[in-house]
Amino acid sequence: MATAPSALTRPDQPAIAYETHGPEDGEPVIFAHGGGQTRHAWKGAAAQLAASGGWRTIAIDLRGHGDSGWAGEGGYGIEKFAGDLIAMADHVAPGSLRPHVVGASLGGIASLVAEGFVRPGSFATITLVDIVPRMSDEGRDRVTGFMGRHAEDGFATLEEAADVIAEYLPHRPRPKSLEGLKKNLRHGEDGRWRWHWDPAFMGGTRGTRGNDWSDRLEQAVAAIACPIHLVRGRSSELVDEEAARHFRTVVPSAGYTDVEGARHMVAGDENDAFGEAVAAFLNTHRQD
């Protein structure tokens, strides 16, 4: 069972909400979601890993997302997210034991920056979920366009939000119940439903694109000594086959899993296959 949500608090930084699964003494695995998502994006993957392998999984809400604190203008640079991951690593794995990290999209980029630049040696392994240094700008624009389209005005009803999501993700079956949507939306005083993240977050990450940024991320990857695993959605709009192939030339030792039937949000599209891939990689890199 999951613990009740907790929060990591630090002076002058937003609180970082998280929930854990698995035994207290289990080897820790941090799950960091993508931009615009919450800790609930993992669709049971964190719980399944804990139940099947005795891992202690920690699913976090990135700053400005879900139940974590908002940082406001200027508080969403990628180094800020990287710093939060390092702080969480120290919180859940004090001493010599290092946590593993599973990072989707924004969470994956923050993991690379944390381990490659900010503080090498923070993590035992890194699993990148459909993210590489050289991703498709067209696919990225589609994702961020969807996120920003209703960020300010929101939706009049949950049904309206469900319609918009179904149009964006036509390959997914529409859920029979709308209760799950409440985990990714907040109900405002004006009665409208809005995404469960700070709209200022979108402006804070605008610098993370272009060749200069891709070069910097590749430098981070090249500097990382811990094992890396790339889990790609085979139909991804951000990481095509060429991008994945290039990544594997930069990191020839990296593990690689190509998940059939999945797009960018791999865990949401093919949760069982995703969970099996993560577990197989982590089981080869246990520290205990």
Q: What is the pLDDT of residue 210?
A: 64
> Is the CB of residue 232 less than 8 Å from the CB of residue 258?
yes
Tell me what percent of the residues of the chain surpass a pLDDT of 90: 74
Give the mean pLDDT of 172-177.
83
Question: What is the per-residue pLDDT across 87-102, written as a single tens digit (0 to 9) for each?
Answer: 999 999 877 789 999 9
Q: Which residue has the higher pLDDT, 36 or 72?
A: 36
Which pLDDT belongs to residue 277?
A: 97
* pTM metric for this prediction: 0.94
Q: Which residues of 121-137 are buried (b: 16+ CB within 10 A; e: fewer)?
A: ebbbbbbbbbbbbbbbe
pLDDT at site 204: 66
What's the sign of the alpha-carbon dihedral 23, 61, 116, 284?
Answer: positive
* pLDDT number for residue 149: 87
Q: Which residue has the higher pLDDT, 206 or 40?
A: 40
Rg (Cα) of the chain, in Å, rounded? 18
Residue 72, pLDDT > 80, answer no
Domain boundaries 6-134+197-283, corresponding CATH code: 3.40.50.1820
E strand or H helix at 271 = helix 271-283
The pLDDT-based confidence of 206 (bands split at 50, 70, 90) is: low
pLDDT digits (tens, 9 = 90+) for 229-261: 999 999 999 999 999 999 999 999 999 999 999
| More confident of the two residues 274 and 205 | 274
In whole angstroms, what is the distance from residue 193 CA to residue 154 CA? 5
Lowest mean pLDDT among 25-29, 32-36, 101-105, 141-145: 141-145
